């Protein structure tokens, strides 16, 4: 039976992916923040003692708080550097992904269109996207697909925290609605279910036609 | 019963998409070049007299020949301008896509990393991608998803024509193989089957980790 | 004495470039629309009978009118295809640029962030940018630099035509002002004056921090 | 008299920029690694006690060593995170850039086309580019231009360290040569000398037509 590990698997997009994968014949570990907190390297190391290999890995974590550039301290940078970058890199160094596997990372469309409110997220999700792109070429040798999903505004607790007036906000969106977590969950499931492997080294905007960059 | 129209549906990637959609409960028109030749505006107009609405539209056509820049004539530019751009635009102007529908276009990874051998394709597929991005915002209002798939080297007759020594070539690829047309066919099918709509206004590289641009 | 040909050299950005180059020891042909109209291939051919070689070439032309997608006719596509694409390609095929020369093209920031109002411009300026990128690698062999300048809102007659209320509009811009044509004119001059050649195959946004794409 | 601070100003590209600025009527501080080492936050804080404001700021530092992904330790990540990201952010938080000033950052073309050998540099230079893009919009209010120069292979000690056989390598480049540090030095000087301000929020590839991404 195939194994999947979904980080941040107890809430929002991570939960939707976990539940979607459970409908397939897959043994899913939906890791909560209590199981692994990627901002805490001790927690990462402990998790890696329990989980050392997998077929499917979903790198996913909550986003940093809104903070103005001038108010971000050195400690803040270091904390979220761990959460959004070093934690994920360490997992990729230490966990063994089986041949023909999949690695997904859930980033954000701020990697292409960085956002003043989400400056920490914009920075570190871009840096991890760079590493993930590089690694995709090496994982490809073993038919492991690396897929970076960059969501726009999805209907999660996180989005509701970030947006003051959700009704007003959705009215500015092309689809006049937030994305549903299940849309991403089902997307991930369908890639795996259909054994689609050549989709690799790719960043997939998932934002209901909201972004403006041509690609 | 949902209707799908797949241009270039008798060969290569278009054929794989047609066959994949036929496994769903969809009435698929797999249009061959005899049915519609987008380089010939007369042929486009004739096709549009027969087919005036659809739920799913797949814009797809064979690629132009390899030609050196200095050898491309004004007639060549105009011919492939029709085939890769004006034909598709005319179809989008005249055909009615039903609410909750899908429009796919099959372009090429040369839209991001243009290629000397494929200069005509690089140019016009980029221009159509620009139009398609713009239109995606309007189609979004009716929950019509616009998805641009940008394949790398896929195992089709076309690729074999373009590449002198396929065995040597695949050895330079991260996955050491060409993509299978069915991977794209199944990808398109799974989007529709799972009713994934928020994936819109997006360009999806489908190249087995071969491209080098970070996004 | 070095020679420069500046298309669209009698107005707006083209005029500013012409005047800036005239302050150097360069023989500048500031071609007006009467001298060459790139939408008219006959006019292009005639121009090329008079001007067959140069050291510096600036490809520049007025923009197409605002038109809704559904109202763009086949003739419109063909007309602006000539103006923004085939005309420039023909010039690059037929004119001889001397070793150590420069080719500039003035496009628009809509090549990266396409715009519904400027759909024709977005499309064809993207396609020409693709060709120009490809050709830059070949021109590099003879130390000819190819530089694509992609302006945002510049203080020209064109911009005033496009924008209903300029005062309101500039208030939305990061610099609270339009760019000055002379800023682009001086930029082009200073590249040439300082013999900067390694700046080639590059797209340079010139938009006062207005665009949102990370690169 | 205008003041400029150039980090990494004693070698390579930084030295070329310093020397070029000295030909203008500018008081240039060419800071060496002994003056400020951005990998050491103590050194950054000390520098900021001496230098608290400037008209022109050039953020520039040597690159990290070549290291395989699996061999990069947590300490390595943290060290280069400081050097390429936190150090620069802290400087931008603490130093006052005068109205009508300029901020340049020297990154690398690996921000767009990340490179396995330069994985650390690819990651953190991308993250800083994200922050710099965001900040450019705020600096624009005071007519401070933010310009990100992304060099390709330039003729510096660093490049010679990275490349085994420089002669073979240059033969693969479109211009068959490395870029000259003075080309970048003169470029920076000419922007300032000509008071070009609308060039802001921009990433400028400086790579002799070597990169492959269309933009």
> In angstroms, what CA-CA distances link B125 with A38, A133, B11, B80, B97?
41, 24, 19, 10, 22
Token pair belonging to B14: 């278009």
Using 50, 70 and 90 to split pLDDT, how confident is the model at B185?
A: very high
Which residue of A77, A80, A130 is the best one to mutate when testing the D interface, meaning the one whose CB has the most D CBs within 10 A?
A: A130
Please give the average per-residue pLDDT across C197-212, as a whole number.
Answer: 98
Q: Is B200 exposed, middle or buried (0-12, 13-18, 19+ CB in 10 A)?
A: buried
Using 50, 70 and 90 to split pLDDT, how confident is the model at D7?
A: very high
Using 50, 70 and 90 to split pLDDT, how confident is the model at B85?
A: very high
Strand, helix or coil at C43?
Answer: helix
Please give the average per-residue pLDDT across A98-121, as a whole number.
Answer: 98
Closest CB to B130 among C74, C78, C122:
C122
Write out pLDDT tens, residues D179-191.
999 999 999 999 9
In C85-179, which ranges are continuous DSSP H helix? 87-94, 119-139, 157-162, 166-171
Q: Which chain D residue is nearest to residue A69, measuring alpha carbons? A: D93
Please give the pLDDT value at position A180.
98
Please give the pLDDT value at position A141.
98
Please give the pLDDT value at position D26.
98
ipTM for the assembly: 0.97
Largest CA distance in chain C: 50
Please give the pLDDT value at position C191.
98
Instruction: Compute the nearest-CA separation of C174 from chain D (Å).
Output: 5
Please give the average per-residue pLDDT across B98-113, as a whole number.
Answer: 98
Cβ C129 vs Cβ B126: under 8 Å: yes
Which residue of C149, C175, C206 is the best one to mutate when testing the D interface, meaning the one whose CB has the most D CBs within 10 A?
A: C175
Pairing label, strands B26-31, B96-106:
unpaired
CB contact under 8 A, D137 and C174: yes
- Tell me C84's DSSP state: I
B83 half-sphere exposure, CB direction, 13 A CA radius: 19
Q: Bridge-partner residues for B148, per DSSP?
A: B105, B203
Listed as own residue / partner, the contacts of C120-123 with beta carbons closer than 8 Å and 24 or more positions apart are C120/C64, C120/C67, C120/C72, C120/C76, C120/C77, C120/C80, C120/C84, C121/C63, C121/C64, C121/C80, C121/C84, C122/A214, C122/B130, C122/B131, C122/B134, C123/B85, C123/B127, C123/B128, C123/B130, C123/B131
Give B-chain residues touching C69 at CB under 8 angstroms: 89, 92-93, 131, 134-135, 138
Using 50, 70 and 90 to split pLDDT, how confident is the model at A94?
A: very high
Question: How far apart are alpha carbons A119 and B207 in whole angstroms?
Answer: 31
Question: How far apart are alpha carbons A93 and A113 in whole angstroms?
Answer: 29
Using 50, 70 and 90 to split pLDDT, how confident is the model at B38?
A: very high
Closest CB to B133 among C89, C114, C127:
C114
Q: Which of residues 172-211 of B touch A (CB under 8 A)?
A: 173-176, 179-180, 183-184, 186-187, 189-191, 193-211
Q: Which of residues 101-130 of B touch D (CB under 8 A)?
A: 111-114, 126
CB contact under 8 A, A212 and C113: yes
Write out pLDDT tens, residues B117-150.
999 999 999 999 999 999 999 999 999 999 999 9
Question: Percent of chain C at pLDDT above 70?
Answer: 100
Cβ A156 vs Cβ A191: under 8 Å: no
> In angstroms, what CA-CA distances link B119 with A99, B67, C120, C135, C154?
37, 8, 20, 9, 31
Please give the average per-residue pLDDT across D152-177, as a whole number.
Answer: 94
Please give the average per-residue pLDDT across C138-149, as a whole number.
Answer: 98
Closest CB to D209 among C146, C179, C206:
C146
Q: Which chain B residue is nearest to residue A138, measuring alpha carbons? A: B174
Helices D41-50 and D87-94 pack at an angle, to 10 degrees, of 20
Q: Over the range D152-185, which residues count as b (16 or more CB within 10 Å of their CB) and which as e? A: bbbbbeebeebeeeeeeebeebbbebbbbbbbbb
CB contact under 8 A, C72 and B78: no
- Tell me B12's DSSP state: H
Q: Which chain A residue is nearest to residue D94, measuring alpha carbons? A: A70
Give A-chain residues touching B194 at CB under 8 angstroms: 186-187, 189-190
- Report which of C84, C107, C83, C206 is spatially closest to residue C154, judged by C-alpha positions: C206
Length of chain B: 215
Q: Where are the beta strands (DSSP E) in chain A?
A: 2-6, 26-30, 53-59, 96-106, 145-151, 202-206
- Tell me B71's DSSP state: G
Question: Percent of chain B at pLDDT above 90?
Answer: 97
Cβ D157 vs Cβ D12: under 8 Å: yes
Q: Looking at the whole model, is its pTM more than 0.90?
A: yes
Give C-chain residues touching D172 at CB under 8 angstroms: none
Token pair belonging to B147: 């998805």
Please give the pLDDT value at position B64.
94
Length of chain D: 215
- Tell me A154's DSSP state: B
């Amino acid at each position: 039976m195939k194994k999947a590990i979904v980080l941040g698997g107890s809430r929002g997009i991570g939960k939707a992916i976990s539940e979607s994968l459970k409908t397939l014949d897959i043994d899913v570990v939906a890791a909560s923040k209590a199981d692994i907190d990627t901002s805490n390297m001790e927690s990462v190391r402990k998790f890696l003692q329990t989980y050392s290999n997998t077929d499917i890995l979903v790198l996913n974590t909550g986003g940093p708080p809104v903070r103005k550039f001038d108010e971000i301290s050195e400690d803040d940078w270091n904390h979220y550097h761990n959460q959004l970058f070093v934690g994920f890199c360490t997992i990729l160094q230490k966990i063994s992904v089986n041949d023909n596997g999949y690695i997904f990372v859930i980033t954000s469309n701020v990697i292409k269109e960085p956002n003043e409110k989400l400056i920490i997220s914009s920075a570190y999700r871009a840096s991890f996207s760079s590493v993930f792109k590089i690694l995709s070429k090496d994982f490809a040798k073993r038919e492991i697909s690396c897929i970076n999903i960059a969501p726009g505004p999805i209907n999660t607790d996180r989005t509701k925290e970030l947006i003051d007036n959700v009704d007003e906000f959705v009215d500015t969106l092309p689809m006049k609605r937030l994305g549903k977590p299940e849309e991403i969950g089902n997307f991930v499931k369908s890639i795996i279910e259909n054994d689609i492997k050549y989709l690799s080294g790719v960043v997939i905007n998932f934002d209901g036609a909201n972004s403006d960059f041509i690609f």
